[in-house]
């Protein structure tokens, strides 16, 4: 039997830990959102003053208005200093992640408009895969790392 984990690949959930239905009844089906399920204002973001990240997952993923890195509980900070302190990332990788995120935003919002949207998205997905490999190389085995297209 096929696991329903494919419904929630960005979150890395399996059947036993699948989130409550609030994630699955949007008109376009199952999705991941930066909106917190507890009703608090704004997205969940790791505490900027905390110089650590206790999660086990680092996911590279684009979402409107969000940074490029997501963790066990949701969106992580896109502040370069926080990524350097809490995750130990290099300046080069941080710059590449933030540039990729800006390029994805430009593509999704048509700035500048592109005729070959599918090709541009494919290239950005390839960059996302490469960024995941670079991230894995920098963090080692501390986190499960992947790119979610």
| Residue 126: predicted pLDDT | 98
In a domain, 123, yes or no: yes
Of residues 16 and 131, more confidently modeled: 131
**Is the pLDDT confidence value at 5 over 50?**
no
**Is the pLDDT confidence value at 2 over 80?**
no
Of residues 5 and 120, more confidently modeled: 120
In a domain, 70, yes or no: yes
| Residue 16: predicted pLDDT | 55
In a domain, 7, yes or no: no
In a domain, 17, yes or no: no
| Residue 64: predicted pLDDT | 87
For 85-139, what is each residue's pLDDT tens digit? 999 999 999 999 999 999 999 898 876 666 788 899 999 999 999 999 999 999 9
In a domain, 12, yes or no: no
In a domain, 140, yes or no: yes
In a domain, 26, yes or no: no
Cβ–Cβ under 8 Å, residues 23 and 46? no
In a domain, 67, yes or no: yes
| 18-52 per-residue burial string, b: 16 or more CB within 10 A, e: under 16 | beeeebeeeeeebebebeeeeeeeeebbbeeeeee
**Structural domain of 125:** 33-148
Q: How many domains does the chain have?
A: 1
For 37-90, what is each residue's pLDDT tens digit? 555 544 445 455 567 889 999 999 999 889 999 999 889 999 999 999 999 999
């Amino acid at each position: 039997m096929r696991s329903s984990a494919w419904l929630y690949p960005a979150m890395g959930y399996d059947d036993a830990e699948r989130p409550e239905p609030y994630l699955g009844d949007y008109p376009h089906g199952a999705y991941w959102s930066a909106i917190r399920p507890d009703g608090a204002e704004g997205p969940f973001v790791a505490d900027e003053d905390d110089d650590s990240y206790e999660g086990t997952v680092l996911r590279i993923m684009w979402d409107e208005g969000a940074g490029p890195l997501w963790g066990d509980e949701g969106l992580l900070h896109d502040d370069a200093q926080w990524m350097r302190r809490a995750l130990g990332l290099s300046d080069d990788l941080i710059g590449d992640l933030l540039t990729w995120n800006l390029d994805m935003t430009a593509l999704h919002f048509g700035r500048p408009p592109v005729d070959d949207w599918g090709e541009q998205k494919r290239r950005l997905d390839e960059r996302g895969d490469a960024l995941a490999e670079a991230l894995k190389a920098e963090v080692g085995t501390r986190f499960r790392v992947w790119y979610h297209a």
